Chains A and B, each alone.
Chain A
Amino acid sequence: MEKFTVHTGSAVPLRHSNVDTDQIIPAVYLKRVARTGFEDGLFAAWRANDPAFVLNKPEFAEGSILIADTDFGTGSSREHAVWALQDYGFKAVLAPRFGDIFRGNALKGGLLAVVLPYEVIERLWEAVEADPATQVTVDLQAREVRAGDIVQQFELDDYTRWRLMEGLDDIALTLRHTDDVDAFEKQRHAWLPVTQ
């Protein structure tokens, strides 16, 4: 996983609450078995049918930070939603609230999902809509989002921050504690089911 410390780039304002993962990537794109190449599925229905959709506007073509609305990424657990955003070029998503599984998936895979107060999101939308070239900085080191005169701290637990900044693989971290898992398994209830 790529290390994440500070990212600066232009942003895409998505004024649409309750964007479920079926909208981020429709089910038909989930049939693939590869891990990359999901960018064509990102917001596929809206990109195809709505010329006014923000990603269809050339001034937002270069955006690498998505400024989303409340309850972004609700619904299906598909991690393809995170992959599609990353494959399209997004490094971070900012929103007042996220679907739980989506946020977990994003932070596992190195897409920084940052919770910001609604008022700050609104100010960011306004800044970016007024000037699409506005540079937004997501600073994981300082746990801060900056754009023009907007400076906003955000919360992220120390462990996740450390893991993202080091670009560490969660599985490798857990495998350091195999002894604990071995010990736990010895005291599980005897009646618990096995599948084979």
Chain B
Amino acid sequence: MARTMAEKVWEEHVVRRADGEPDLLYIDLHLVHEVTSPQAFEGLRLAGRPVRRPDLTIATEDHNVPTENILGPIADKVSRTQIDTLRKNASDFGVRLFPMGDLDQGIVHVVGPQLGLTQPGMTVVCGDSHTSTHGAFGALAFGIGTSQVEHVLATQTLPMPPFKTMAVTVDGSLPEGVTAKDIILAVIAEIGTGGGQGYVIEYRGQAVRELSMEARMTICNMSIEAGARAGMIAPDETTFDYVQGRPHAPRGADWDAAVEHWKSLRTDEGAAFDKEVVLDAAELSPFVTWGTNPGQGAQLDSAVPAPEDFADPAEHAAAEKALAYMDLDAGTRLRDIEVDTVFLGSCTNGRIEDLRAAAEVIKGRKVADGVRMLVVPGSMRVKEQANAEGLGEVFTAAGAEWREAGCSMCLGMNPDQLQPGERSASTSNRNFEGRQGKGGRTHLVSPLVAAATAVRGTLSSPADL
């Protein structure tokens, strides 16, 4: 029977199947960070259980990390305790950890792929909803809760309920200036924040095939914002080129065997998806959010909608609440919205290509008066590469702050936060109330829009410069 890629990868990992029970899946790679792991390690300790496969587990420090003075002690005592707890747990249980100051430290979803630990056909989990990022390689990658983190640490498996499959096809080629971020924001606006619930999404079509690996990661990263269990893209030459030669990639005869296998993972001709969504790339343009969930977005060329524009009573009420929180009036042109902060970074858009794209726009220009721009590389390796290419200098010459690697302003767990009432254009993934700091207001944008917005001070695309 013709099968989808998700079904093939799932089947390959079934350890145990029994009537009336969820499948028990084997987990090939478990990524760990400081926020969702302390209670899991404590659970192991209380039960006297070891980590079954420390050699399939890797830890990094990211959410709490200050992006300045990273070698000094963390000023916030509670954050420091959480970091210290991870260090102790990693040492007690034999898990390899990349601490602050290590060249391999960074955001967990940037670190895995850059080391070559994320490969096609694998099952990948992490106590973080943006684990869907790794699906860009054709891996089945799920965000999990802390109880599940403990379960994987103890058993290297997870009982998982069955899933449905959805195909999101983007036909044609993207117009100039339109990026992966615009695709995924448009997809979420189309299917809604709950539209993907219970599904593993496979992104396909010419526009997806033409994307680089890093752009594919941006798309898969935000699958969870549509409510999906995971997002995947079939591995192809772009994938193989990206993986080959990385520190943990297979070599020699192993490489050939792996590639042979990876090619077999693609969805079979004629395989049926439970749901299909089709977008025309030619109709896409830069996309930004105006509300307080990632589905509340619109083309930058348009205006803030009115609650009355939504027929559904729940969406109507949600729009009303969002406009009040965002302090926006219906009918305001999105291009007229002024921001005081621009954040370029996160597991969505903190990779080298994102920094290159933004630097290209901002080179020789200045960040507008009254605007603060934070540029935060996704990992220390990304920072090193960016510095080697002179990108750090481009950002600092423009008046932006060029920081150390971490989750930074994507979420209010470290010193990089919005103050109440401040408004940002952010390349991160969530515009929830208070996400970037209590009372802060967030517009999600692509790196190109972030850079142009920093220069003009209002939501803008490079074409406006």
Residues of A within 8 A of B (CB): 16-18, 20, 22-23, 26-28, 30-35, 45, 69-71, 74-80, 82, 97-101, 104-105, 108-109, 157-159, 170-171, 173-175, 177-178, 180-181, 184-185, 188-196
Contacts and interface: CB of A to CB of B under 8 A. Distances in A.
B381 to A, nearest CB: 16
Contacts of B57: 195
B38 A105 contact: no
Given A20-B293, A174-B151, A194-B56, A30 B145 contact: no
Contacts of A45: 433-434, 438
B81 A194 contact: no
Contact of B154 (A76, A175, A180, A194): A175
Contact of A171 (B36, B47, B96, B193): B47
Contacts of B229: 100
Given A33-B85, A100-B227, A181 B254 contact: no
B159 interface: yes
Contacts of B143: 77, 101
B49 to A, nearest CB: 7
Which residue among A16, A98, A181 has the maximum number of chain B CB atoms within 10 Å of its CB? A181
Nearest to B230: A100
A77 B39 contact: no
B211 interface: no
A99 B155 contact: no
A191 B250 contact: yes
Contacts of A192: 28, 119, 122
Contacts, number: 202
B91 to A, nearest CB: 13
Contact of B314 (A69, A79, A98, A105): A69
Given A159-B22, A196-B96, 15 more contacts: A17-B314, A23-B434, A30-B413, A76-B128, A77-B143, A78-B35, A97-B194, A100-B197, A100-B229, A170-B147, A180-B15, A191-B254, A192-B28, A195-B29, A195-B55
A98 B145 CA distance: 15
B197 A77 contact: no
Question: Can you list the 5 inter-chain pairs with the closest CB atoms, starting with the nearest?
Answer: A105-B145, A79-B145, A191-B250, A33-B38, A191-B254
A159 B36 CA distance: 26
B42 A35 contact: yes
Given A17-B317, A76-B129, A23 B432 contact: yes
Contact of A82 (B54, B145, B249, B317): B145
B346 interface: no
A104 B96 contact: no
Contacts of A100: 197-198, 227-229
B114 to A, nearest CB: 13
Contacts of A109: 147
Contacts of B56: 194-195
A191 B250 CA distance: 6
B157 interface: yes
A76 B126 CA distance: 12
Which residue among A20, A33, A105 has the maximum number of chain B CB atoms within 10 Å of its CB? A33
Interface string B1-45: 000000000000001100011101010110000011011001100
Contacts of A157: 20, 22, 161
A158 B127 CA distance: 26
Given A31-B78, A177-B24, A193 B119 contact: yes
B191 interface: no
Which residue among A98, A181, A193, A194 has the maximum number of chain B CB atoms within 10 Å of its CB? A193
A103 to B, nearest CB: 9
B79 interface: yes
A74 B194 contact: yes
Nearest to A162: B20
Contacts of B127: 77, 79
A76 B161 CA distance: 19
B78 A32 contact: yes
B36 A77 contact: yes
Interface stretch (B168-176, B255-263, B336-344, B355-363): B255-263
Contact of A28 (B116, B144, B254, B413): B413
B248 interface: yes
A22 B430 contact: yes
B148 interface: yes
Given A22-B434, A31-B82, A195-B96, A171 B261 contact: no
Interface string B184-213: 000000000110011000000000000000
Given A32-B78, A33-B81, A75 B129 contact: yes
A35 B39 contact: yes
A31 B83 CA distance: 9
29 contacts: A17-B317, A22-B430, A27-B63, A27-B411, A33-B81, A70-B314, A71-B197, A77-B129, A79-B145, A79-B147, A97-B194, A100-B227, A100-B229, A101-B145, A104-B161, A170-B147, A171-B154, A174-B154, A174-B159, A175-B154, A180-B16, A181-B15, A181-B26, A185-B26, A188-B26, A190-B257, A191-B255, A193-B29, A195-B58
Nearest to A195: B58
Contact of A159 (B21, B122, B129, B227): B21
B433 A18 contact: no
B129 A22 contact: no
A115 B255 CA distance: 46
Which residue among A17, A45, A76, A77 has the maximum number of chain B CB atoms within 10 Å of its CB? A77
Nearest to A30: B35
B116 A193 contact: yes
B434 A180 contact: no
Interface string B46-74: 01010010111110000110000000000
